[in-house]
Amino acid sequence: MTSPEPRHAEWMGLALTEARAALATTDVPIGAVVIGPDGTVLGSGRNEREALGDPTAHAEMVAIREAATRLRELSARDGKAGDGWRLEDCTLVVTLEPCAMCAGAVVLARIPRVVFGAWDEKAGAAGSVFDILRERRLNHWVEVYGGIREPECAALLREFFAGHRGA
């Protein structure tokens, strides 16, 4: 695990805002943002599996798709060559450790850094259950910064699930 930077906590605040927005659709409150090389938000997302009826609508996937679209648009506007799907020099910030699907998408999108809040001891793929992001047999490896604002991220999830169990 690599030492976090001060900006990571600030960016996690943006992901937490997205996570809270997921509560309006009864989706699990997980939020994500993709930060570009200049520190601007290229994409943001929240879990939308319930809202969209889409099992792939995890916060990370939504944010990555939006960031890729934005990069493609920026490249076209600036007259630069760019495919949009390579999110090189970007940072994915997410409130919960990515699952295997999302970790795979990070690797395929060539995202070099992932910052996450709470650990996922049941399905995490950034060091808990699996470590896809740093799997040496793959062609891309990712710097991982875990536990950023972990108490806030974990509390949001605990409260959500406590409310669903009691209902």
Torsion of CA 121, 122, 123, 128, to 10 degrees: 30
Tell me whether residue 99 is annotated as binding.
Answer: yes
Q: Which of 18, 48, 60, 66 is catalytic?
A: 60
User: SS3 string of 21-41?
Assistant: HHHHHCCCCCEEEEECCCCCE
Report CA dihedral (109, 115, 120, 125) to the nearest 10 degrees.
30
Instruction: State yes or no: is 60 an active-site residue.
Output: yes
Token pair in block for residue 32: 């994500």
Measured between alpha carbons, how far is residue 37 from residues 68, 92, 111, 148, 150 in Å?
A: 13, 11, 11, 20, 24
CA distance 5 to 75: 28
Element (H, E) at 14: helix 6-22
24 token code pair: 């309006």
Q: Is 140 annotated as a binding residue?
A: no
**Which parts are annotated binding residues for Zn(2+)?**
58, 99, 102
Active-site positions? 60
